[in-house]
Chain A
Amino acid sequence: MCLGAPGQVVDVAGTRARVDFFGVQREVSLDLVDEPVSVGDYVLVHVGFAIRRIPSDEIDQTLDFFAKLSRDADQHEAGPPHPTPADASRT
């Protein structure tokens, strides 16, 4: 039940939308999504409700983020030995 699925909006009628999930279409409620949704948008859906409109520029940003992480400079690697768990502040 926890599985959220991203899909693409193919039709909007009031607060309902038809969403394509990798080939399977389902009707979804737009009552909980916090932005206007239009045809072509990607949305994240949980148990029949869209909970997020996924802006397409943020999909590109995610890919940039992955690239940045893989490229990240290794400046830390030569630093002093890392504290052991006992050194780390704990409550």
Chain B
Amino acid sequence: MSSAANTNHPLSFRDVQRGQALQARLRQVVAAVRRPLTVMHVCGSHEQVIARYGMRESFPADLHVQMGPGCPVCVTDAPDIDAVIALADAGVHVLTYGDMLAVPGSAESLSDARTRGAHVDVIYAATQALTIARSHQDPVVFFATGFETTAVATAAILLQDPPPNLFVYSAHKWVPAAMEIVARLPGSPIEGFLAAGHAATITGSAIFESFVDTYRRPVVVAGFEPLDVLSGLICLVECIRDSRCEVVNAYPRCVTRPGNQRALAVLHRVFQMGDGPWRGIAQIPGGELELRAEFAQHDARRRFATLLATAARRTHKPPSDTCRCGAIMTGMAQPTDCVHFGQTCRPESPIGACMVSSEGPCRIWFESGAPHRAKAAESRS
């Protein structure tokens, strides 16, 4: 780990000496496998840590760590963004998490709509949606995006006696369903998965047990400090080395086997699993969290169904078929395999969502610079 900040805060697992010891251990276990191996992490935050601390260069050459479908911004489907833009254009007050603002839909982003004068506000906590709706009479739509960790927050506000003018446009996704899609891809090189520790804080590590049995790939739940990522990778490579298909919890300070039952109960009370589109990847059975019928009076998709249907007919265009976000997020390609990468597609002029989000693989690779690209090119040759 180069230049890792070494702080004494008890929650910052960034100690340089420990990091070096773990790096040495990772080299050792990878060497013991005696062949190249490919694993996938399923969380944009893992990629951020890997990039921020320059960890990718220090990984052993035989260990390929692929990015999976773990960026919630990247997998939010363009027609959903179009739909929320249509609501904003129709005069509805739209609330969104900040990282969705610049993501292009079929034609434009929520930020473009805001520049045109639409009422779009950024919130950082789900409870702000409640506060804002309570202080107004007019309809307020919360564009609810993200995985399990943000979905529980959306569910919680819907159980807090929300005012009748608060509507949720749910584009929440359920990650385990996407891991199955990746594991089922013919020719997938992925031998094991590093699962997102925060989603697993909610769902528990047990959720991966049937996945491991079905797809015969180990899953290691890992946290988000550099030392967590290193130790997660060590556990994963050890599983591969020993042909152990099991779930390992390498983030025990946050993740338990049953998970946060209280939060899960809230999630399941409000949402049910449905089939939903993951941008660039596929329509994923069980991959979308839909509001249950009981919450229909707060469901923006139902309340504004007519408006949304009209808008969908008007604006939906097929997404650019040259953007390779989908292949990148399923482990079949690297950002550097895309002809647009760093050329026509850059953070200031993104073509795909993967270049917009701070958790997007293309954006992270672009911003973390040439060494990674060079290494990727080298490893492919």
B33 to chain A, nearest CB (A): 5
Interface readout for A75-91 with B: 1 if CB under 8 Å, 0 if not?
01101011111001111
A51-B125 CB under 8 A given contacts A3-B45, A91-B216 = no
A78–B240 Cα distance when bound, in Å, is 16
Q: Is A54 an interface residue (CB 8 A)?
A: yes
Shortest Cβ distance from A61 into B: residue: B252
Min distance, Cβ A46 to any Cβ of chain B, angstroms? 4
Measured CB to CB, the closest approach of chain A to B94, in angstroms, equals 15
Q: Enumerate chain B residues within 8 angstroms of A91, measured Cβ to Cβ.
A: 183-184, 214-216
| Minimum C-beta distance from B169 to chain A (A) | 15
B127 with A81: CB separation less than 8 A: no
In chain A, positions 34-91 with a C-beta closer than 8 Å to chain B are 34, 42, 44, 46-49, 51-52, 54-56, 58-59, 61-63, 65-67, 69-70, 72, 74, 76-77, 79, 81-85, 88-91
Interfacial chain A residues near B254, Cβ < 8 Å: 44, 52, 54
Q: Is B334 an interface residue (CB 8 A)?
A: no
Residues of A near B227 (CB, < 8 A) are: 66
Size bin of chain A's contact surface = 35 or more
Closest-CB distance, A17 to chain B (whole angstroms): 13
Interface residue B147 (Cβ < 8 Å from any Cβ of A): yes
Asked whether A13 is an interface residue with its Cβ less than 8 Å from the other chain, the reply is no
Chain A residues, Cβ within 8 Å of B13: 62-63, 66
Taking A2-B43, A33-B262, A91-B214 as contacts, is the C-beta distance between A48 and B127 under 8 angstroms? yes
| A72 and B25 contact, Cβ closer than 8 Å, known pairs A2-B147, A62-B253, A84-B35 | yes
User: Does B87 lie at the interface of the complex (its beta carbon under 8 Å from any beta carbon of A)?
Assistant: no
Query: When chains A and B are docked, how far (Å) is the Cα of A52 from the Cα of B149?
Result: 11
Q: Please determine whether A69 and B25 come into contact, CB atoms closer than 8 angstroms.
A: yes
Inside 8 A of A65's CB, which chain B residues have their CB?
231, 250, 252
With both beta carbons as reference points, the residue of chain B lying nearest to A70 in the complex is identified as B21
Kindly supply a per-residue 1/0 record for chain A positions 20-31, scoring 1 wherever the CB is within 8 Å of any chain B CB and 0 otherwise.
Answer: 001000100101
A87 to chain B, nearest CB (A): 8
Inter-chain residue pair count (beta carbon < 8 A):
163
Given that A2-B45, A58-B253 are known contacts, is A88 also in contact with B11, CB under 8 Å in the complex?
no
The complex places the Cα of A55 from the Cα of B10 at a distance, in Å, of 12
| Neighbour of B252 across the interface among A29, A47, A62, CB < 8 A | A62
A32 to chain B, nearest CB (A): 4
Residues in chain A near residue B35, CB distance under 8 A: 82, 84
Is A59 a contact partner of B149 (Cβ separation < 8 A)? Answer: no
Q: Are B231 and A69 in contact (CB under 8 A)?
A: yes
Which of A51, A59, A85 is the most central at the interface, judged by chain B CB atoms within 10 Å of its CB? Answer: A51
Of the residues B9, B25, B32, B156, contact of A76 by C-beta under 8 Å: B32
| CB pair A32 B152 closer than 8 Å | yes
In the bound complex, do residue B10 and residue A22 qualify as a contact, i.e. CB atoms below 8 Å apart? Answer: no
Find B124's partner among A48, A61, A76, A90 (CB 8 Å cutoff).
Answer: A48
Q: Which residues of B contact A72 (CB under 8 A)?
A: 25
Is B73 among interface residues, defined by CB-CB distance under 8 A? yes
> Which of A3, A46, A82, A84 is the one whose CB lies under 8 Å from B153?
A46
Chain A residues in 8 Å Cβ range of B224:
4
